Amino acid sequence: MVLVKILFCIILLVILVSWLKINPFITFLIVSLTGGLLLGIPLEKVTNSVQRGLGDTFGGIAITICVGAMIGKLVATSGAAQKIASVLVNGFGLKYIQWALVLVGFIIGIPLFYETGFVLMIPLIFSVVYRYKLNAVYIGLPMLAALSVTHGFLPPHPSPTGLVNAFHADMGKTLLYGICLAIPAIIIAGPLLARTLKNINSQPLATFRAEELPDDKLPSAFNSFFTALLPVMLLMGTTIYLNLDHSHGTIHRLVAFIGNAPIVMLISLIVATFTMGIMQGLDLKHIGHHCSHAVKDVSLILLIVAGSGAFKAVLTDSGAAKDIADMFQSFHMQPLLLGWLIAAIIRISLGSATVAGLTTAGILSSMVLHDPSINPNLMVLAIGAGSLTCSHLNDGGFWLFKEYFNLSIKDTLRSWTVMETTVSIIGISGVLLLNAVVG
């Protein structure tokens, strides 16, 4: 019965957005309230659940997306994006630029949360797209596949790390096995899948489009890469330090503070204001003007992603996630496949990979801990793969991709959703193969 109610909400979401063309944010509010009431949340509490979901999601992404858009705007208008695109193409050749972006996406995806990596890499993707008039989905999807795989498979991301702790798995082995699975998943769901999507017409978000400047007006290659990748370097550097230093002294706490994504983004914006603004001859008034326009361009995206958070909150508060997991716990099937299936159903229903992974961990932890025949490292990866299945209209990542790349619902489903599902299927296939080899 719970699945029927959730299915009704998802169908309602699709009808309101795709057929009736209602604004996605308003649609999420309607569907969230409807879903909360159908799933048994008391009338006096359902509004609080929606508001909490909106607030939690908005609070978690607002600084990153808004400040990231400001940095991206400065990188674009200063000519830094144009310079970066030229350097990448000269270094790898236009023929292999897609693979270069995949490599970059995988490297930066290991320490960064998905949403942060997405926002930071979008200007890099669009700089290549605009500079060389390439298909945006063909160029961008492989890099985002790399980010998605690291988010679902590899520690230190929240879900894999939580799963490692829940199952008492070995972090090193999990990371090693995860990388073994990540490589074929990225190749197939990234560059190979993207070859079939060249006919998708995409006009990416105008924030990162800028007039082409003459070469003598461009910032240096070092300045361009340093400014664009400073958030990545700060996040990676602080993550490495915190993993090595367990003293919890003053320096440790200071580095932890600096390593928070909002602080990193703020520091990076201050640096970009100087390197991409003042050093390029812009005064603070013009820099502020660019930043204001950047926020306007992403404001609707913020609301839509926050709306998906409201829907996720009512499903979680109603106990729907636990009901779904309990329903499948009685199934008699291969444990790794069961973990993948439970995570997949929760992901499709709730739209959050992290919630799907951690909820499944809570349901299966007792079984994994008391059955020595189950490899806990592979269970982490099986659940991680399941948590990436079939991202659709109730997932914030779906809307990030759709709105930034300016796609229709149909084209987003056949590019983004197919990519995520391909990663998931390859992931569980690899887990079962590894299980046959390493047990």
Write the pLDDT tens digit of every residue in 366-383. Answer: 778 888 889 999 999 999
For residues 136 and 125, is the Cβ–Cβ distance under 8 A?
A: yes
pLDDT band at 331 (very low <50, low <70, confident <90, very high): low
Predicted confidence (pLDDT) at residue 37 exceeds the cutoff of 90:
yes
What percent of the chain has a predicted confidence (pLDDT) above 90?
A: 32
216 burial (CB, 10 Å; 0-12 / 13-18 / 19+) is exposed
How high does pLDDT run on average in the chain?
Answer: 86
Cα separation, 49 vs 44, in Å, equals 10
What pLDDT score was predicted for residue 88? Answer: 81
- Residue 389 above 80 pLDDT? yes
> Distance between CA 177 and CA 179 in Å, rounded?
5
138-176 residue pLDDT tens: 999 999 999 899 888 876 666 787 788 788 888 778 888
Q: How far apart are CA 163 and CA 262, in angstroms?
A: 26
Most confident option among 13-27, 104-118, 151-165: 13-27
Q: Is the pLDDT of residue 196 over 80?
A: yes
Crossing angle, helix 80-92 and helix 43-77, to 10 degrees?
Answer: 80
Range of the domain at 305: 2-438
Average pLDDT over residues 180-204: 92
Concatenated DSSP letters of 166-223 = HHT--HHHHHHHHHHHHHHHHHIIIIIHHGGGTT------GGG--PPPPGGGSPPHHH
Cα separation, 346 vs 316, in Å, equals 10
CA distances 39 to 3, 7, 57, 353, Å, are 10, 12, 21, 21
What pLDDT score does 420 carry? Answer: 96
Q: Which residue has the tokens 């930066």?
A: 108
**What is the structure's pLDDT at 6?**
84
Q: What confidence tens digit (pLDDT) does each residue in 233-275 have?
A: 887 788 788 878 778 889 999 998 998 878 988 999 999 999 9
**Residue 25 and residue 112: Cα distance in Å, rounded?**
27
**More reliable by pLDDT, 106 or 412:** 412
Q: Which of 23-37, 199-213, 222-236 comes out lowest in average pLDDT?
A: 199-213
Of 331 and 118, the one with more pLDDT: 118
Instruction: Find where tokens 């990676």 sit.
Output: 236
Confidence (pLDDT) at 330: 66
CB neighbour list of residue 337: distance below 8 Å, 6 or more residues apart:
382, 428, 432
CB atoms within 10 A of CB 217: 12
pLDDT in tens, 58-80: 887 788 888 888 888 888 788 88
Number of domains, the chain: 1
Give the model's pLDDT for residue 13: 85
**pTM for the whole structure:** 0.76
Q: Is the pLDDT of residue 439 over 70?
A: no
First to last CA, the chain: 37
Q: What are phi and psi of 218, to 5 degrees?
A: -85, 150
pLDDT in tens, 268-310: 999 999 999 999 888 899 899 988 988 887 888 788 878 888 8
